[in-house]
């Protein structure tokens, strides 16, 4: 009996030493390995090492920040997160993982339960429409044309894919559109609801990405044709257009990591690829990003065929200011602004204009959009925002 007790104590001590050795090795690995400042899959900056000071120690800030720092930079953290995500999806079969609703064929945003506030919605719609009315009237001063383009957000387009017990925001989406478009009509602002266009075309699933929250090339092309048609009708101009006769579509062989797939740390298998469109006869142009000359391309091609690509392939992602000049003064000038849905659309729109300016007010802060338009006086101004942003007064909703 005594021998068994001694053996148990020996095994307990051995296990304790193994645990201690594990934590010591993890601590050493954490301390010695090269530090990174950005989490690729989480798409965020990692907590920097906090500065040690008497004041920070006294009020507890230093230890709070140190805890965040160690959590962000712990050795093996990335592998542990991937393993946890995989276990949640495959082993536990959780319906929501890392704020992503996992279905058989599409990844959706998780939406908290909400009760739409009519008064707030009407107030936001009125204020936003008033600003857009000012922009439309300003553009008309030199004979220009303004068009507001509303694009279905990912959760709105795939609302029917949500389980019944999860919020697909259907009520909010329908009411916000009704209130907002009515406010635009009151201000005399021309608008296009891409959702109505897609509905007439049967709402093809391929119009929206399965793993990303943006539209695909087919969906964007559908909107592009409608936008050009409306602009031609409003301006009387005949705009050069990209069609099936003067373009070629190509698909990148690289794996596509969409924003939803990224939240799942690449653990959701998908064969989705990015498709892009190029004119058969290229239009020479120059390009400036944030005032600096850059390579004249509207695509950011990867260096090989196997590394993952993201939606930022189009236009290089969200750039605060981009100016494309094609040196064709007989054509009108364009200013397009809005959130990241504009990126793919810009790779098509520049073909029809002499100069194409793109502004993203989430990063551009040199002047208000109204001041920018007054300075450059584009003949066509197009705003592109998805349903989720219709009532937002911030970022690209704050134009003046």
Residue 76's pLDDT is what?
66
From CA 332, how far away is CA 74, in angstroms rounded? 55
User: Would you say residue 8 lies in a domain?
Assistant: yes
Give the separation between CA 238 and CA 232, rounded to whole angstroms: 6
Task: Indicate if 54 and 185 belong to the same structural domain.
Answer: no
My answer on whether 19 and 135 are in the same domain is: no
Residue that wins the pLDDT comparison between 79 and 129: 129
Overall domain count for the chain: 2
pLDDT of 44: 62
Whether residue 26 lies inside any domain: the answer is yes
Residues 162, 46, single domain; the answer is: no
Q: What percent of the chain has pLDDT over 90?
A: 74
pLDDT at 7: 58
| pLDDT given for residue 40 in this prediction | 63
The residue assigned the tokens 């590394």 is 307
193 in a domain, yes or no? yes
Which domain-ending residue is among 80, 109, 137?
A: 80
- pLDDT band for 14, please (50, 70, 90 cuts): low
Summarize pLDDT for 344-398 with one digit per residue, the tens: 999 999 999 999 999 999 999 999 999 999 999 999 999 999 999 999 999 999 9
In this structure, is residue 163 part of a structural domain?
yes
Contact 41, 262 (CB under 8 A): yes
pLDDT at residue 276 greater than cutoff 80:
yes
- Tell me whether residue 110 is in a domain: no
Write down which residue in 24, 55, 80 finishes a domain: 80
Do 36 and 136 lie in one domain? The reply is no
For 31, phi then psi, to 5°, come to -75, -35
Work out the percent of the chain whose per-residue pLDDT is above 70: 85
Q: Average pLDDT for residues 224-253, to the nearest whole number?
A: 93
Between CA 200 and CA 28 the distance in angstroms is 61
Look up the domain containing 376 and give its range: 118-397
Average pLDDT over residues 209-227: 97
- Residue ending a domain, choose from 33, 59, 80: 80
Give yes or no: residues 249 and 345 share one domain: yes
The pTM score is 0.87
Whether the CA torsion 205, 208, 210, 216 is positive or negative: it is positive
Q: How confident is the model at residue 17 (pLDDT cuts 50, 70, 90)?
A: low
Residue 162 in any domain: the answer is yes
Q: 250 and 340, same structural domain?
A: yes
Based on the fold, state whether residues 169 and 26 are members of the same structural domain. no
* Shared domain check, 274 and 132: yes
Tally Cβ neighbours within 10 Å of residue 271: 7
The b-or-e profile of 378-399 (16+ CB within 10 A means b, else e) is bbbbbbbbbbbbbbeeeebbeb
- Has residue 107 been placed in a domain? no
């Amino acid at each position: 009996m005594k021998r068994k007790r001694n053996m148990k104590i020996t095994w307990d001590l051995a296990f304790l030493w193994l645990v201690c050795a594990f934590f010591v090795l993890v601590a050493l690995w954490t301390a010695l390995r090269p530090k990174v400042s950005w989490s690729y899959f989480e798409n965020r900056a990692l907590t920097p090492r906090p500065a040690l000071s008497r004041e920070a120690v006294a009020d507890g800030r230093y230890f709070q920040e140190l805890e965040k720092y160690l959590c962000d930079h712990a050795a093996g953290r990335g592998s542990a997160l991937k393993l946890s995500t995989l276990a949640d999806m495959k082993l536990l079969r959780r319906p929501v993982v890392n704020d992503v609703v996992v279905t058989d064929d599409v990844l959706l945003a998780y939406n908290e339960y909400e009760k739409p506030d009519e008064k707030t919605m009407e107030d936001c719609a009125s204020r936003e429409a008033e600003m857009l009315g000012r922009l439309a009237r300003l553009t008309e001063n030199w004979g220009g044309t303004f068009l507001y383009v509303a694009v279905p957000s990912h959760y709105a387009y795939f609302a029917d894919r949500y389980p019944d017990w999860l919020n697909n925001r259907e009520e909010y989406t329908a009411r916000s559109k009704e209130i907002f478009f009515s406010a635009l009509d009151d201000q005399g602002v021309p608008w296009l609801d891409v959702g109505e266009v897609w509905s007439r075309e049967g709402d093809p699933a391929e119009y929206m990405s399965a793993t990303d929250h943006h539209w695909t090339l087919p969906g964007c092309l559908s909107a592009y044709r409608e936008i050009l048609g409306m602009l031609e009708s409003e301006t009387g101009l005949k705009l050069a257009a990209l069609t099936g006769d003067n373009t070629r579509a190509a698909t990148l062989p690289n794996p596509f990591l969409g924003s939803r797939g990224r939240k799942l740390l690449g653990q959701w298998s998908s064969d989705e690829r990015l498709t892009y469109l190029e004119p058969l006869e290229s239009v020479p142009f120059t390009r400036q990003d944030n005032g600096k000359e850059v390579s004249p391309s509207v695509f950011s091609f990867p260096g090989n065929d196997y590394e993952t690509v993201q939606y930022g392939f189009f236009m290089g992602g969200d750039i605060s200011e981009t100016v494309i000049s094609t040196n064709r003064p007989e054509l009108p000038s364009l200013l397009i602004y809005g959130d990241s849905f504009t990126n793919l659309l810009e790779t098509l729109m520049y073909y029809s204009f002499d100069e194409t300016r793109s502004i993203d007010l989430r990063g551009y802060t040199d002047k208000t959009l109204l001041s920018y338009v007054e300075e450059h006086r584009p003949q066509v101004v197009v705003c592109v925002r998805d349903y989720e942003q219709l009532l937002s007064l911030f970022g690209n909703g704050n134009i003046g």
